[in-house]
Amino acid sequence: MSGAAANDTIAALASAAGQAGVAVVRVSGPAVPEIAKRLIGRLPVPRRAELARFTDADGATIDQGVVLYFAAPASFTGEHVLELQGHGSPVLVDELLARLVELGARLAGPGEFSQRAFLNDKLSLDQAEAIADAIAAGSRVSARAAIRSLEGAFAREVEALVEALTRLRVYTEAAIDFPDEDDVDFLADGEIEGRLAAITRDLQALRARAAQGAGFRDGLRLVILGRPNVGKSSLLNRLARRETAIVTEIAGTTRDVLHEQLSIDGLPLTLVDTAGLRETDDPVEAEGVRRARAEVAAADRVLLVIDDQAGLTDADRALLDEIPPDMGVTIVANKIDLSGHAPGPETLGGRTAVRVAAIDGRGFEELTAHLKSLVGVEGDAEPAFVARRRHLAALDRAAEALATGHERLVVDAAGELLAEELRLAQNALAEITGRVSSDDLLGEIFSSFCIGK
Ligand code: GDP
Ligand code: ZN
The per-residue pLDDT for range 325-360, each reduced to its tens digit, is 999 999 999 999 999 999 988 899 889 999 999 999
CA of 135 to the centre of ligand 1 (A): 39
Is residue 230 within 6 Å of ligand 1 at its C-beta? yes
Is 246 in the same domain as 340?
Answer: yes
In a domain, 74, yes or no: yes
Rg (CA), the chain: 29
| CB distance 108 to 25 below 8 Å | no
Q: What is the pLDDT of residues 96-133, one digit of tens each?
A: 999 999 999 999 887 888 888 888 888 888 888 888 88
Report the candidate in 285, 339, 276, 350 with the shortest Cα–Cα distance to residue 307: 339
In a domain, 421, yes or no: yes
Q: How many CB atoms lie within 10 A of CB 321?
A: 8
Strand partners, 268: 263
In a domain, 146, yes or no: yes
Q: Is the pLDDT of residue 51 over 80?
A: yes
Is residue 335 within 6 Å of ligand 1 at its C-beta? yes
CA of 111 to the centre of ligand 1 (A): 48
Report the pLDDT averaged over residues 68-76: 95
Q: Is the pLDDT of residue 256 over 50?
A: yes
Q: Which one has a higher pLDDT value, 120 or 421?
A: 421
pLDDT score at 21: 86
Q: Which atom of ligand 1 is nearest to the CA of 237?
A: 7
Q: Is the pLDDT of residue 442 over 50?
A: no
Is 237 in the same domain as 294?
Answer: yes
Q: Which atom of ligand 1 is nearest to the CA of 358?
A: 23
Is 82 in the same domain as 149?
Answer: no
Is residue 231 within 6 Å of ligand 1 at its C-beta? yes
In a domain, 198, yes or no: yes
Q: Which atom of ligand 1 is nearest to the CA of 357?
A: 23
Residue where one domain finishes, among candidates 347, 373, 399:
373
Q: Which one has a higher pLDDT value, 367 or 139?
A: 367
Minimum mean pLDDT among 108-122, 153-167, 296-310, 410-424: which range? 108-122
The percent of residues above 70 in pLDDT, for the chain, comes to 87
CA of 228 to the centre of ligand 2 (A): 7
Is 250 in the same domain as 350?
Answer: yes
Which positions make up the binding site for (6S)-5-formyl-5,6,7,8-tetrahydrofolate? 26, 83, 122, 453
Is residue 228 within 6 Å of ligand 1 at its C-beta? yes
Q: Which atom of ligand 1 is nearest to the CA of 305?
A: 3
pLDDT score at 181: 54
- Per-residue pLDDT band for 261 (boundaries 50, 70, 90) equals confident
Is 56 in the same domain as 190?
Answer: no
Ligand 1: residue of 229, 238, 280, 338 to mutate (most ligand atoms within 8 A of CB) is 229
Q: Which one has a higher pLDDT value, 310 or 246?
A: 310
Q: Which one has a higher pLDDT value, 103 or 187?
A: 103
CA of 309 to the centre of ligand 1 (A): 12
Question: What CATH number is given to the structural domain containing 185?
Answer: 1.20.120.430
Domain that holds residue 254: 222-373
* Average pLDDT across the chain, whole number: 84
Instruction: Count the domains in the chain.
Output: 3
Q: How many CB atoms lie within 10 A of CB 373?
A: 13
Peptide bond into 73 cis (omega under 30): yes
| CB distance 50 to 95 below 8 Å | no
| CB distance 113 to 119 below 8 Å | no
Report the pLDDT averaged over residues 234-248: 66
Report the candidate in 42, 2, 50, 11 with the shortest Cα–Cα distance to residue 29: 11
Is residue 95 within 6 Å of ligand 1 at its C-beta? no
- Per-residue pLDDT band for 46 (boundaries 50, 70, 90) equals very high
Is residue 232 within 6 Å of ligand 1 at its C-beta? yes
In a domain, 246, yes or no: yes
In a domain, 350, yes or no: yes
Q: Indicate which residue's Cα is closest to atom 15 of ligand 1.
A: 231
Q: Which amino acid is at 251?
A: A
Report the pLDDT averaged over residues 158-181: 84
Q: Is the pLDDT of residue 446 over 70?
A: no
Is 227 in the same domain as 339?
Answer: yes
Is 206 in the same domain as 229?
Answer: no
Report the pLDDT averaged over residues 205-215: 91
Ligand nearest to the CA of 363: 1
pLDDT score at 253: 38
Is residue 275 within 6 Å of ligand 1 at its C-beta? yes
Is 256 in the same domain as 343?
Answer: yes
Q: Which atom of ligand 1 is nearest to the CA of 228?
A: 2
Is 369 in the same domain as 432?
Answer: no
Residue where one domain finishes, among candidates 64, 90, 121:
121
Ligand 1: residue of 234, 303, 362 to mutate (most ligand atoms within 8 A of CB) is 234
Q: Which atom of ligand 1 is nearest to the CA of 279?
A: 2
Report the DSSP pairing between strands 267-273 and 220-226: parallel
d(CA 102, CA 363): 64
Strand partners, 28: 10, 81
- Side by side, the strands of the sheet bearing 351-355 are 248-249, 258-264, 267-273, 220-226, 301-307, 328-334, 351-355, 344-348
Q: Is the pLDDT of residue 448 over 60?
A: no
Q: Indicate which residue's Cα is closest to atom 24 of ligand 1.
A: 335
pLDDT score at 130: 84
- Asked if this assembly's ipTM is beyond 0.95, the reply is yes
Q: Is the pLDDT of residue 179 over 70?
A: no
In a domain, 148, yes or no: yes
Is 200 in the same domain as 268?
Answer: no
Ligand nearest to the CA of 256: 2
pTM here is 0.71
Residue where one domain finishes, among candidates 346, 373, 400:
373
CA of 234 to the centre of ligand 2 (A): 7
Q: Which atom of ligand 1 is nearest to the CA of 235?
A: 7
* Element containing residue 178 per DSSP (H, E): none
d(CA 384, CA 212): 8
pLDDT score at 255: 46
pLDDT score at 243: 42
Q: Is the pLDDT of residue 246 over 90?
A: no
Report the pLDDT averaged over residues 218-246: 80
Tell me if residue 99 falls in helix, strand or coil: helix
Minimum mean pLDDT among 141-150, 159-168, 387-396, 410-419: which range? 141-150
Q: Is the pLDDT of residue 282 over 80?
A: no
Q: Is the pLDDT of residue 286 over 80?
A: no
- Per-residue pLDDT band for 438 (boundaries 50, 70, 90) equals very low
Is 280 in the same domain as 343?
Answer: yes
Q: Strands (DSSP E) along 56-143, which ranges?
A: 61-70, 81-88, 106-107
CA of 260 to the centre of ligand 2 (A): 14
CA of 233 to the centre of ligand 2 (A): 4
Q: Is the pLDDT of residue 86 over 90?
A: yes
Q: Is the pLDDT of residue 287 over 80?
A: no
Q: Indicate which residue's Cα is closest to atom 6 of ligand 1.
A: 231
Is residue 229 within 6 Å of ligand 1 at its C-beta? yes
Ligand nearest to the CA of 305: 1
Q: Indicate which residue's Cα is closest to atom 10 of ligand 1.
A: 229
Q: Indicate which residue's Cα is closest to atom 22 of ligand 1.
A: 335
Q: Strands (DSSP E) along 393-445, which ranges?
A: none
Is 275 in the same domain as 368?
Answer: yes
In a domain, 134, yes or no: no
Minimum mean pLDDT among 85-94, 181-190, 362-371: which range? 181-190
